[in-house]
Amino acid sequence: MKKVKKIVIFAVVVIAVIGAIVVKNKLSSNTKTANVAVTVSKKAVEVQNTKMVEKNLSDTYKATLEALQQGIVNSKISSKVVSVSFENGQYVNVGDTLVTLDDQDIRNNIKTSQAQLQTYQAQLNSSQVSMEKLKINLDDAKRNYDRQKTLFEKKAISQTDFEAADKTLNTAQADYNSGNASIKTAQANISSQNVSIANLQDSLNNLIIKAPISGVISDKAVNIGQMASTGTALAKVNDISSVYATMQIPQNKINNTKIGQPATITVDGSDKTYSGVLQNIDLSADTSARVFNCKIKIDNSDKTLYPGVYAKAELISSEKTQVIAIPINALVGGEGDYSVFINDNGTAKKQKVTIGETDANNVEITSDIKDGDAVILTNTSTLQDGDAVETVSK
């Protein structure tokens, strides 16, 4: 009996020892698992603390570029086009020949008019020769009349003889007046014909259509063989040595807008900016939209800007404001859904933001970022909200 009892006691001790070993091993295993769970890898990131910076207040508007001035190429007469010396986009100088019209009809009219002029000149010459004879006859009749009058007053001749002398004088005077009228008519005809020939000569000169100003051709609307009608636009010449950015400013902003105000222009599809100055403000607003048409003048001596292009015009004020700007590479997302990551005590916190003006390197943040926030600059494409991060130096 005692022997059995000792065996039982020994068995219990063995089981207890084995259980203790199992428990110890299990606790050791759990401890290792726990140690693995708390060992988390951190992403190395570069960080920049935000700060307020000063900038000029500005307003941005949609704009369209237009030429400094525009010359219309048109014909002063109607005639057939025989040559065209330009294409759209070509640069021309003032006075360059652009279009030549058919001159045959006008040259024929000039020859006819010149022949008629010679006829009128011959009539004038003939009338002038006749006038010499008529003048002699008039002088003779006047002298005879004077003699007859003296004799009649002395009663040396009869009434009939005196009346005959008077009639001869009247006839001579009438012939002289008629001859003088013929000369004046011939002279008037000659003058009129000279005017007609001069007009035809002007028309002949107008058959060569030249560039009204220097610039770039656009809106070509002429081809060889067509009829060019008087006054019809055949093309436009655009002076783009400078260009205007035209825009519309609402009435609530116009009082703060001044001629001479500096501006920055950005053309759609390009990051290049151009400097300009507000040149013109319309005197009155558009009655329906209540906006004022304004023009910014931009130097374009390199001819890289073209009329009709859409642009963005930023009018810069002399007043200052404080804004937060961050490097543009810190921005993630797309238009209307931009975010940044902030290092919140070792955790990446994704924060939606609203952006303002941008340049090649920085973007203005207009909401949801405070002065002093640690904005993450690197690895933003792989970061997730809540990731553990570790700040490293640049």
Query: For 347-370, how does the pLDDT look when each residue is reduced to its tens digit (9 = 90+)?
Result: 989 989 998 777 778 888 888 888
pLDDT tens across 85-138, in order?
999 999 999 999 999 999 999 999 999 999 999 999 999 999 999 989 999 999
pLDDT at 33 over 50: no
Residue 1 lies in a domain: no
pLDDT tens across 219-261, in order?
999 999 999 999 999 999 999 999 999 999 999 888 889 999 9
Residue 325 lies in a domain: no
* Sequence-distant (≥ 6) Cβ neighbours of residue 130 within 8 angstroms: 179, 182
Residue 386 lies in a domain: no
CATH number at residue 167: 1.10.287.620
Phi, psi torsion values for 245, nearest 5 degrees = -100, 110
Residue 214 lies in a domain: no
pTM of the model: 0.57
Largest Cα–Cα separation, the chain? 218
pLDDT tens across 284-329, in order?
988 888 999 999 999 999 889 999 999 999 998 777 777 888 888 8
Residue 127 lies in a domain: yes
pLDDT at 43 over 90: no
Tokens of 158: 């009869």
Range of the domain at 157: 103-206
pLDDT band of 377, cuts 50, 70, 90: confident
pLDDT of residue 394: 66
Residue 121 lies in a domain: yes
How many domains does the structure of the chain reveal?
Answer: 1
Single-letter amino acid code for the residue at 68? L
Q: Strand, coil or helix: what is 78?
A: coil
313, 245 in Cβ contact below 8 A? yes
245-279 residues labelled b (16+ CB within 10 A) or e (exposed):
bbbbbeeeebeeeeeebbbbbbbeeeeeebebebb
Residue 173 lies in a domain: yes
Helix then strand then coil, in percent of the chain rounded to 5, is: 35, 40, 25
Residue 154 lies in a domain: yes
